[in-house]
Amino acid sequence: MTTKHMLEARGLCKTFGDNEALVDLNLTVEQGEVVCLLGANGAGKTTTINLFLGFLKPDRGSAFVTNIDVVKEPVEARKHIAYLPESVALYPKLTGIENIAFFDKLTGAERSETELAVLLRDAGLPESAHGRRTSTYSKGMRQKVGIAIAMARNSRVLLLDEPLSGLDPSAANDLGQSICRLRDQGCSVLMATHDIFRAKEIGNRIGIMMAGRLVQVLDANALDAKEIEHIYLEHLHGPTEQREEARVA
């Protein structure tokens, strides 16, 4: 009998031409758990997210969302996922409330405007912005609408691809809190990020990715941010002694 993981990667591989974007990834995310993927650009974080979304086809291996094979049943798998990219794409000529109402209707739900406004407010979007077209929103505001959409969909899995990138500290903090709320409600989160400190704050586990490989998985509660940074940099540039020698030379 197989255990039901909310997300599971089994030997996932993906290459783009000669470039090995992801090599033999094995990873699980359990219910109510936040797993952050740390890594430099090109480490394979976004490729991992895209493979779970079915935006890419794996060369080998399988990706499962609530035990549904993403390649075999992509549409069914995506019904359980809420996705927040680096920059949430909203319909610029619709207001915040109209955008969330549209995505809400896609799930078959018919929430009232008041209920949708509560979701937007919970995601941190001020009420004064609800009726404004999203073309006037800042990136942070758009990300908050994205979180509200995720909340509206009652998804059991949240995939976040650099959601904090480019946000000011206050907006990043707001968004972090929203993600924690979703986690506390039982949502499973896989987040790709560069932000070690935010990963430590939000994540239960932190996976370090290098050149398409998941090189280490850390317990975020067992280490402080400095230790995590230290380990990450060691993977990135080699042990501290080597880095020192290299710097002196």
Partner 1 sequence: MSKAIANKDQLLLRRESLVKPLLIATVVLLAASVLAGLQRENVFDKERAAASIADKEVWMNQGDRNPHSAAHFSRYAFRPAASLSLIDPGTNDFAGQAVWMEAHYQDPAVFRRAEDASELGRFTLLTPAFLLLVGGPLLIFLTMHGAIAGEREDGTMRQLLATGVGAGQFFQGKLRSGLGMTMRVYTPAFFVLALFSLFATPGGVTADGAIRAGAMYLTFAIYLAICVAIAIAVSAMYRTRQAAFLALAATWVVIAVMAPRLASDVATAVAPQPDARVVSNDLRAASDIWYADKDRQERIQQSVLDEYGAVDIDSLPINYGAYALQVSEELSNPEFDRVYGGLDSTYRLQESVVRLFSVLSPTIPAAGLSRAFAGTDREHQRDFTVAAELHRRDMIKMLNEDYMLNGQAGPVYTANAELWALFEDFAFEPRAIAAVAGRYLGDFVALLLWAAAALFVAQVLVGRAVRSEVPTA
Residues 163-202 that bind partner 1 (CB under 8 A): none
Q: Which is nearer to partner 1, 90 or 231 (CB)?
A: 90
The answer to whether 105 and 125 are in contact (CB under 8 A) is no
Ranges of beta strands (E only) in the chain are: 7-16, 19-29, 34-39, 60-65, 68-69, 81-84, 157-161, 188-193, 205-210, 213-219
Report the DSSP pairing between strands 60-65 and 7-16.
Answer: antiparallel
By CB under 8 A, tell whether 216 contacts partner 1: no
The answer to whether 51 and 12 are in contact (CB under 8 A) is yes
Specify the residue for token string 């290459």. Answer: 15
Number of chain residues interacting with partner 1 (CB under 8 A): 33
Q: Which is nearer to partner 1, 94 or 210 (CB)?
A: 94
By CB under 8 A, tell whether 76 contacts partner 1: yes
Work out whether the CA dihedral 49, 205, 164, 182 comes out positive or negative. positive
By CB under 8 A, tell whether 17 contacts partner 1: no
Binding mask 89-108 for partner 1 (x = CB under 8 A): xxxxxx---x---xx-xxxx
DSSP state of 18: T
CB of 158 to partner 1, least distance (A): 11
Q: Which is nearer to partner 1, 113 or 245 (CB)?
A: 113
Residues that bind partner 1 (CB under 8 A): 53-57, 70-71, 74-81, 83, 85, 87-94, 98, 102-103, 105-108, 153
